[in-house]
Amino acid sequence: MTKKGDCIIGVSANKACDDLDNSFKQKLRTSDTVVKIGIIVEPYVFSLAGFGNNNLEIIHKHDIVLRKSNYVDSRTLIVSCDKSAIDIPRNLIKALTNSEAKGILRIKIE
């Protein structure tokens, strides 16, 4: 990763789009599905919300992308997010720069 990767906040994750449960993915493939996301790096928590989309594939084997736009590709999990990478508190990002840090991406469908 380089400093130009300014929207990448997690690497070496143990899950990607393709690993998610099929019934969960099916719920995400509905445009009016509200999705709440929590990014947790103790003691910090960052929350955002977005939506499912009828065109989601959710099949990428390495990535999960949360988008502020409505663009969809195989990496897209949700669209129309109310926040973007620039909104994530710098103390949470700094905590993630420690190679021993563990981050959790919590996904809740409402």
Report whether CATH 2.60.120.630 matches the domain 17-109. Answer: yes
Torsion of CA 19, 86, 53, 10, to 10 degrees: 0
The domain locations on the chain are: 17-109
Q: Enter the pTM of the model.
A: 0.89
Q: pLDDT by residue for the chain (110 residues), tens digit each?
A: 445 555 666 667 889 999 999 999 999 999 989 999 999 999 999 999 999 999 999 999 999 999 999 999 999 999 999 999 889 999 998 998 888 889 999 999 99
Phi, psi of 37 (to 5 degrees): -120, 135
